[in-house]
Amino acid sequence: MSLSDTATPTRQPSPSAVTKADIATAGATRRRKAAKWKLIVGTVCTLLVIIPIILAQVLPLPDANFQDLAARRLPPFTDGHLFGTDQLGRDLLSRVLHGGQVSLTIGVLAVLVSGAIGIILGAAAGYFGGWVDTIISRLLEAQMSLPLLMMLLLVVALFGPSIPVITFVIAIAQWPEVARLTRSMVLVEREKPYVSAARILGLHRIQILIQHIIPNVIKQATLVVLLLLAQAVLLESALSFLGAGPQRPFATWGRIISDGQDYITTSWWMVTLPGLVIVLMVVGVNLLGDGLRDRPRRKKKDA
Amino acid sequence: MTNYILKRLGQGLLTVFLTVSTVFILIRMAPGDPAVSYAGPLATNEQLAAVREQFGLDRPVLEQYWIFLQQLFTGNLGTSYSFQAPAMQVVAERMPYTLTLATAAILLTAVVAIPLGVWMSRRPDTGKELGVNVLTIAGQSMPDFWTGIMLLTGFAVLIPIFPASGFATWGGLVLPTITIAILQIALISRMVRREMTANFAAPYLTVARSRGVRNSVLTWRYAMGNSAIPVFTALGTRFAAMLNGVVVVEVVFAWPGVGSLIVRALETRDYPLIQATVLLTALLAVGVQLLIDLAYPLLDPRVRLGKAATA
């Protein structure tokens, strides 16, 4: 906080040896610039992928499942196919965007579910301690030592690659991260005076936890959500690459790449372009999450 | 010390037991019939019944579980449906390949990620550091199957330096190792940087610096010494996770390891093989975790095993 004070030396009559040039090159200034840069670039990359995905139905694109065997494996920029076509003559860009809708939906839903489970269980473990904490912490440890991807594959292979199953599976894979973070923050928070005050006032323990403690930790807990979203998208694409992804209504990114794999030597775009779309979006989300975390928090002073 | 090891061993075995039991229940809960995939789609009902009887699938689930428990303690999980060989033996034959790949990947990761993380922590907030930082973000954002295919196309097809798949020569190890290491280097180097930055900001380091301790000693002996445990833990945990089969990379490079085995076992619903794979990999992973914990006193003389209740 004191750093942001020095960064805006307005109305400071006392002469200082620190010149504006010094401030402009100071570590704290550079850090803030880097955070800002990450935020901007991250937003641009993410929107560059997300906006076309959201607008996929509106954009003038051929149907993602429309096959035109006369126009098989056209390279990009031919006959109005921006990304070219695949081995069945389907428009690759359209496939990527429609598949992206499914991937993104799964990712967002999975993060919401895992965030909810993680915050509730993590807060309960941190606040109540005792046997609640023992059970939840053991569960966390046990899951960490489990073969994760193998278990996910197992569940999806056995119960079918439907969107709910995949969402649930990814959420289960991700909740420990949120839970551990929330638990450690609640452990700190519950020792603060306001909690004792609330207890003395006679509030119920659950009310203290929900009304007073969780609002104080939720902001930091939600910061990891962006990073989880990036992971969820990658996890989903890995599952669908292995053939355990949703098939309906559209094949998702991993599946598109695994389809194009056989034609990589003759039709490079079928693997390269969908992959680049994933990378662009995940880099964007990760940069955004990083930038938000590094951003100096000035709001507290204003409040 | 002995008590601690015994306690941890007990916990580990309990975890393994719960894991294999969960898998047992999941498999039986799921729709689908292994007899169908074994006997083929044209099999008559009598043939299917015969197959089920042969595999013991016609018995009540509880009885199957009891048999499974007996097998668990004798270490013989039955015969793999598709390989027609003892399931444990099939998995054990694949294990060295996964071990080789995981060891190579973790070594490469450690050799690159630790110096890289230290390098970043020593010039915070510079343009160069930001550049490398963004590279590590890119590294953790690339799906490994895609990186694998790209490397494969580049260095095995277009410029044929390395073999494209399998493990016939040591050259075959290079591309899968790099594919795994890219993600791991990104994750571990960021973690090294975080730990080192925290230590560089600590008062004890300022004191040491004011006493005139050299910069290299400050970095490697002081700050690294105190970052060693979390970094080592992260590397060890990653290694343990890889033993469970680096599924995706093994599939891309047709690596004859456990990861590609489990994909095949799941496709054919080869129950004994699935269970043997899960059992063996879970045992190995728990073993590695235990070894990591036992190594703590070597890294930090303050650690007394079994007494550290805080964390």
Instruction: Give the position of tokens 């410029």.
Output: B159
Residue A302 above 50 pLDDT?
Answer: no
Find the mean pLDDT for residues B219-230: 87
Residue B274 above 90 pLDDT?
Answer: no
Report CB contact under 8 Å: B146, A144: no
Terminal alpha carbon distance of chain A: 13
Task: State the pLDDT confidence band at A27, using cuts at 50, 70 and 90.
Answer: confident
How far is B203 from chain A, CA to nearest CA, in Å? 19
Residue A77 above 50 pLDDT?
Answer: yes
Q: What pLDDT, on a 0 to 100 scale, did the predictor assign at position A215?
A: 87
Residue A80 above 80 pLDDT?
Answer: no
Q: What pLDDT, on a 0 to 100 scale, did the predictor assign at position A158?
A: 77
Q: Which of A145, A148, A261 sits opposite B15 (nearest CB)?
A: A145
Whether residue B219 contacts residue B227, with contact meaning beta carbons closer than 8 Å, is answered with no
Report CB contact under 8 Å: B150, A275: yes
Q: How far apart are CA A76 and CA B244, in angstroms?
A: 39
Task: State the pLDDT confidence band at A298, using cuts at 50, 70 and 90.
Answer: low
Find the mean pLDDT for residues B224-251: 85
Q: Which of A36, A138, A158 to mutate to test the interface with B (most CBs of B within 10 A)?
A: A158
How far is A34 from chain B, CA to nearest CA, in Å? 7
- Ranges A277-281, B82-86, B166-170, B225-229: which has the least confidence: B166-170
What is the dihedral angle through the alpha carbons of B145, B148, B152, B155, rounded to the nearest 10 degrees? 160
The phi, psi pair for B86, rounded to 5°, reads -55, 130
Instruction: Give the position of tokens 């200034």.
Output: A29
- Ranges A125-134, A139-148, A204-213, B148-157: which has the least confidence: A139-148
- Cβ-Cβ contacts under 8 Å between A and B: the total is 132
Nearest CA in chain A to B138: A283
Find the mean pLDDT for residues B155-163: 81
Report CB contact under 8 Å: A264, B262: no
Which of residues A145 and A157 earns the better pLDDT score? A157
Instruction: Give the number of other CB atoms < 10 A from CB of residue B219.
Output: 19
Find the mean pLDDT for residues A105-111: 92
Q: What pLDDT, on a 0 to 100 scale, did the predictor assign at position B189?
A: 94
Q: Which of B11, B29, B141 to mutate to test the interface with A (most CBs of A within 10 A)?
A: B141
Q: For residue B153, list chain A residues with Cβ-Cβ distance below 8 A.
A: 264-265, 268, 271
Report CB contact under 8 Å: B244, A242: no
Report CB contact under 8 Å: B149, A264: yes
Q: For residue A160, list chain B residues with Cβ-Cβ distance below 8 A.
A: 31
- B146 CB contacts (<8 Å, ≥6 apart)? A257, A271, A275, A278, A279
Find the mean pLDDT for residues A240-259: 82
pLDDT in tens, B117-127: 999 998 887 88
Find the mean pLDDT for residues A199-226: 85
Q: What pLDDT, on a 0 to 100 scale, did the predictor assign at position A78?
A: 73
Report CB contact under 8 Å: B125, A242: no
Which of residues B55 and A118 earns the better pLDDT score? A118
Residue B113 above 90 pLDDT?
Answer: yes
Whether the predicted model's global pTM rises above the 0.80 cut: yes
Rg (C-alpha) for chain A, rounded Å, is: 24
How far is A145 from chain B, CA to nearest CA, in Å? 7
Share of chain A above pLDDT 70, in %: 90
Which of residues B60 and A11 earns the better pLDDT score? B60
Q: What pLDDT, on a 0 to 100 scale, did the predictor assign at position A73?
A: 72
Whether residue B173 contacts residue B102, with contact meaning beta carbons closer than 8 Å, is answered with no
Residue B307 above 60 pLDDT?
Answer: no
Which residues make beta-bridge pairs with A81?
A78
Flag whether residue B244 sits within 8 Å of chain A, measured between CB atoms.
Answer: yes
How far is A11 from chain B, CA to nearest CA, in Å? 28
Q: How far apart are CA A165 and CA A148, in angstroms?
A: 15
CB < 8 Å from A in window 250-289 of B: 251, 259, 262-263, 266-267, 274, 277-278, 281-282, 285-286, 289
Report CB contact under 8 Å: A241, B248: yes
Find the mean pLDDT for residues B91-107: 91
What is the dihedral angle through the alpha carbons of A252, A258, A262, A264, rounded to the nearest 10 degrees? 80
Q: For residue A34, list chain B residues with Cβ-Cβ distance below 8 A.
A: 125, 130, 133
Find the mean pLDDT for residues A97-108: 90
Q: Which of B144, B247, B267 sits opposite A150 (nearest CB)?
A: B247
Report CB contact under 8 Å: A153, B266: yes
Q: Which of A146, A180, A271 to mutate to test the interface with B (most CBs of B within 10 A)?
A: A146
Find the mean pLDDT for residues A45-66: 83
Q: For residue A272, list chain B residues with Cβ-Cβ distance below 8 A.
A: 150
Residue B112 above 90 pLDDT?
Answer: yes
Q: How far apart are CA A68 and CA A86, in angstroms?
A: 10
Find the mean pLDDT for residues B136-161: 88
**Residue among B70, B80, B26 at smallest CA distance from B272:** B80
Residue A198 above 60 pLDDT?
Answer: yes
